[in-house]
Amino acid sequence: MSNPFKKALLGATCLSVIAIPHITLANDNLFDMSLEELMDIKVTTASKREESLFEVASSIYVLTKEDIRRSGATTVADALRLVPGMNVARTDTAGRAVSARGFNSSFANKLLVLRDGRTLYTPLFSGVYWDVQDVVLEDIKQIEVIRGPGAALWGANAVNGVINIITESAKDTKRNYVSATYGNQERGTAEGIYAGVTENELYYKATARHASRHNSKDLMGNDTSDEMEHSMASFRAEKAYGNTNFTAMGDAYRGTKDLNLTVPYLPTSLNVLDKNNQHGGNVVLKWERTLDDGNTDMFQVYYDSHYRQYDLLEQQNDIIDLEYQRTSKLDNHHLIYGGGYRFTYDELNGTPYLDFRTQERYSSLYNVFIQDKITLSPESLYLTLGSKFEYNDFTDFEFQPSAQLSWNISDNQFAWASVARAVRTPSRAEQDIRIVAAVLSSGAIVRQDGSRDFDSEDMIAYEVGYRIKPTEKTAIDTSVFYNDYSNLRTSEIQGLTFSGGLPFLVVNQDNLGEGRSYGAEVSARYQATEDWSLVANYTYLDIDLKLDANSTDTRLLPDEEISPNHQFNIQSRLDVTDDLQFDVTAYYVDDVLGSDQYIRGDVRLAWEPTDSWQLELVGQNLFDDLHPESQPQLQQAQTQVPRSYYARASYRF
């Protein structure tokens, strides 16, 4: 084992052992769930219906409310560091690069992210703006993470993974909550949850949050200009009429973030101090019905709007999405099927540096899907077949099938295997963008152009997995995968042209790349005592990319190096007494392009003097003063993550 691995293990283990003599073995109510209860958590992301976590035929991991709380994370993205197969890298004070099984960057586009059934998606680059996903973590019920394709149910862009952020229902929110946080990076965060019920059993809930975060550090250790302020508010209302449930929910946000940009402008580079202004909101309406025979119907519609503006680009995006699905049982078949429609409008106002071929664009996406879980042997062997069929305005028809075989070997052993096809459809940028990428010493200006001929990226994934509970105190989950990619995005030289008297070397988007990736993920949980638990996760990933013989691309092959080959984390959660918690988490991340390997150590000490009050002290990145986690973002300088700490006071009533 390498020295970094030893250091991560030693740091977490030693800090935990220090507190072991104070364990109170008589306390049996400190952890929210036993290991058995944890493995029997109900999840919905893998099959769009409720099933036990232990019997899911895919690489799934669940972050519970307690996992998130005791990690000390202050954002959803940082909580995802705990998940095997996930790579999370901080790009600036609020931005994160998040991906599953490779291809990580600020503009990662092979991961589908959902929140309560709504896709967190921007058609600009087919990814997620993580800097605006600043939700109240206390409001999250659980985060379900699928590593591997989920396109047969969720559609295009669910290529390397699906993240489903599920918040608590208003009915299940038993206590109100307020908290205040302050530290050297978290420069003042206040948040709250208020829930109740009316006389006619209308359950309701409101949440609000304001966060202020300090600058990151540059490579010289100086403050960068990326401070941020972000505010959000949300609501949720639920009403039941017999076997029918209605839900209405939505949120609104507004924020600003400072930017320090180096722009290869015309005809030379400029340093630009700017401010990114953003605001948006959404409304979701959901209708669910359970029939007497156990079959269910669901219809959902949502409207989402977001706006972002800085000097180089102004963008407005609006989405209307409708979805219907039904589940039904017929003898040995458990069917789920449905369809949907999504309408997207965007308006992009650019500059000579960053512009788009068309300022406005409308697009439609139609889909139908079906999945059948077939019982081959009762309570033992199952075959699941399904596919999503989509028609979009970018690439027309897409077909994304999957097949899964699952085997309940015994009460404490489960095995599965799957094969699936997934596609990543083009983004607005890949078809329409015109961006100045560099100014050469010769005076020629390199301009990256989108192409309407750019096609979908394809992947065929092969996976096998095995879960076992060898003892009442231990659970192990393993998976091995092989992904075969084709039609990967490349940038191809088209030639020299002149515009406005300036020479432009034009580079277009194309699909002349291919490759494969393979790896393994292992997760282990151990309940050492009634008061002390350990969770460890390891990820291995290898990516090999190739170019067509006629390709002139220079950007694809470095993508082999933007995701780490090895990742490891271990978390110790100890209840020292009935009212004192001591949690330690250590992470090891292998080196990537633009960043050396690093070890991150986090410590959390929480005291509950009463049933209502909780006081926390959290230290993060304790093993070094500064370290970079990602390569530089587009236009922005590379940043480093500083050692940080914060204090939080929470009150539940």
**Reported confidence tier of residue 353, pLDDT bands at 50, 70, 90:** confident
In this predicted structure, which of 163-167, 175-179, 636-640 has the lowest mean pLDDT? Answer: 636-640
DSSP string, 272-322: EEEEEEEEEEEEEEEEEEE-TTS-EEEEEEEEEEEEEEETTEEEEEEEEEE
Measured at the CA of 252, the angle between CA 246 and CA 255, to 5 degrees, comes to 160
**What integer pLDDT is reported at residue 17 of this predicted model?**
36
**What integer pLDDT is reported at residue 60 of this predicted model?**
97
pLDDT in tens, 553-612: 998 988 999 999 999 999 999 999 999 999 999 999 999 988 899 999 999 999 999 999
Mean pLDDT of the region 55-62: 96
User: Burial, 105: exposed, middle or buried (Cβ in 10 Å; 0-12, 13-18, 19+)?
Assistant: buried
> What is the rounded CA–CA span in Å between residue 453 and residue 396?
12
157 Rama sector, left if φ>0, alpha if ψ -120 to 50, beta otherwise: left
Is 85:104 a contact under the CB 8 Å cutoff? no
Token representation of residue 452: 């309407």
**Reported confidence tier of residue 29, pLDDT bands at 50, 70, 90:** very low
**What integer pLDDT is reported at residue 594 of this predicted model?**
81
Structural domains in the chain (count): 1
What are the E-state strand segments in 548-636? 566-577, 580-589, 598-607, 613-620, 626-627
pLDDT in tens, 295-322: 999 999 999 999 999 888 999 999 999 9
**What integer pLDDT is reported at residue 5 of this predicted model?**
42
**What integer pLDDT is reported at residue 457 of this predicted model?**
97
Range of 570's domain?
Answer: 3-652
Element (H, E) at 99: strand 96-100
**What integer pLDDT is reported at residue 270 of this predicted model?**
61
38 vs 378 pLDDT, higher one: 378
pLDDT in tens, 220-244: 888 888 899 999 999 999 999 999 9
pLDDT in tens, 355-376: 999 999 999 999 999 999 999 9
What's 474's domain CATH number?
2.40.170.20
Measured at the CA of 125, the angle between CA 541 and CA 547, to 5 degrees, comes to 50
424: amino acid identity, one letter = R
**What integer pLDDT is reported at residue 404 of this predicted model?**
98
- pLDDT for residue 4 is more than 60: no
**What integer pLDDT is reported at residue 32 of this predicted model?**
56
CA distances, 505 to each of 111, 269, 407, 446, 554 (Å): 32, 17, 56, 5, 14
- pLDDT for residue 7 is more than 80: no
pLDDT in tens, 153-166: 999 899 999 999 99
Is 366:394 a contact under the CB 8 Å cutoff? no
Neighbour-count burial for 519-546, b at 16+ CB within 10 Å, e otherwise: bebbbbbebbebbbbbbbbbbbbebebe
Token representation of residue 273: 């101090």
Q: Omega of the bond prior to 267 within 30 degrees of 0, cis? A: yes
Is 238:170 a contact under the CB 8 Å cutoff? yes
**What is the Rg, in whole angstroms, of the alpha carbon atoms belonging to the chain?**
25
**What integer pLDDT is reported at residue 34 of this predicted model?**
72
630 vs 208 pLDDT, higher one: 208
pLDDT in tens, 499-509: 878 888 999 99
β-pairing, 381-392 vs 433-439, is: unpaired
**Residue 484: which of 399, 397, 421, 541 has the closest Cα?**
421
**What integer pLDDT is reported at residue 265 of this predicted model?**
59
**What integer pLDDT is reported at residue 573 of this predicted model?**
97
Looking at every residue in the chain, the average pLDDT score rounds to 91
- pLDDT for residue 66 is more than 50: yes
Is 618:610 a contact under the CB 8 Å cutoff? no
Per cent of the chain over pLDDT 70 is: 93
First to last CA, the chain: 48
pLDDT in tens, 421-438: 999 999 999 999 999 888
Is 193:652 a contact under the CB 8 Å cutoff? no
pLDDT in tens, 379-412: 999 999 999 999 999 999 999 999 999 999 999 9
**What integer pLDDT is reported at residue 351 of this predicted model?**
87
**What integer pLDDT is reported at residue 311 of this predicted model?**
83
- How far is C-alpha 253 from the chain's CA centre? 19
**Residue 101: which of 621, 486, 484, 419 has the closest Cα?**
484
Is 498:480 a contact under the CB 8 Å cutoff? no
Mean pLDDT of the region 39-52: 91
pLDDT in tens, 463-513: 999 999 999 999 999 999 999 999 999 999 999 988 878 888 999 999 999
> What is the rounded CA–CA span in Å between residue 626 and residue 642?
5
β-pairing, 360-377 vs 381-392, is: antiparallel
